[in-house]
Amino acid sequence: MVKSGILLIDKPQMITSHDVVDIVRRKFNIKRVGHAGTLDPLATGLLIILVDRATKQFNRFVDFDKGYTACLKLGAGTDSGDSQGKIIAESGYSGVTLENVEAALKSLEGKIENVPPMVSALKHKGKRLYKLARQGITVERKARPVEIHSLKLLKLSLPDIEFEVRCSKGTYIRSLAEEIAKRLNCVGHISEIRRISVGPYSVAQAKAADDFDENDIRPA
């Protein structure tokens, strides 16, 4: 019998978080498997998998702060906020400097309002927003209070701005990136995103989605 606990998985790009859950279910031949916080298919990085009785501790893991690295590409805004969407707006970025990028990032630290993107798993009148978005339907979304603990520039190579963010649960990095672009008088979208931490857990501790076994299950 497989022991209860958590698996730290480094999710690869272009598979869903639920795909990883299915991989674990098949590997261990067990149904009680879940994950603590969805990563978009485009995103890579740390996914906490809950095995057997650990699924009852979902809320504890979801409530942890998160850490991400991401790349914002200026000049084109998309309907999804990432590189998989359709371009809906364009702008120049020739006036963007290191100084105003750093100022824009600094201005977003602390408690802010974060608007969920249309392409998200939130529901509106019982329907997932991403399903409405696929039908070309846009609905008003209420901004949610979140906290950005730190927001640091990693590399500036226009049109790309690479940054690292530590934030509270419920923060949508695609929306944060769009707000950074807005403060630079531009539009933009996320071209890369990687979750590097969840609470005390780091992606450096994670196993590949095709290279783990029961010995990698940690106590919850």
Q: What is the largest CA-CA distance in the chain?
A: 61
User: Which among 143, 150, 153 has a CA at the least distance from the CA of 108?
Assistant: 150
The one-letter amino acid at 46: L
Is 40 labeled as catalytic in the residue annotation?
yes
Measuring CA to CA, which residue among 211, 209, 218 is closest to residue 46? 209
Residue-wise over 107-123: b if at least 16 C-beta within 10 A, else e?
ebbeebebebbbbbeee
Residues in CB range of 143: below 8 A, 6 or more apart? 113, 114, 115
Residue whose C-alpha is closest to residue 58's, from 36, 74, 28: 36
Structure tokens at 183: 């403060």
Catalytic residue among 10, 22, 40, 52: 40
In the three-class reduction of DSSP (H, G, I as helix; E, B as strand; rest coil), residue 53 is classed as helix
Active site residues: 40
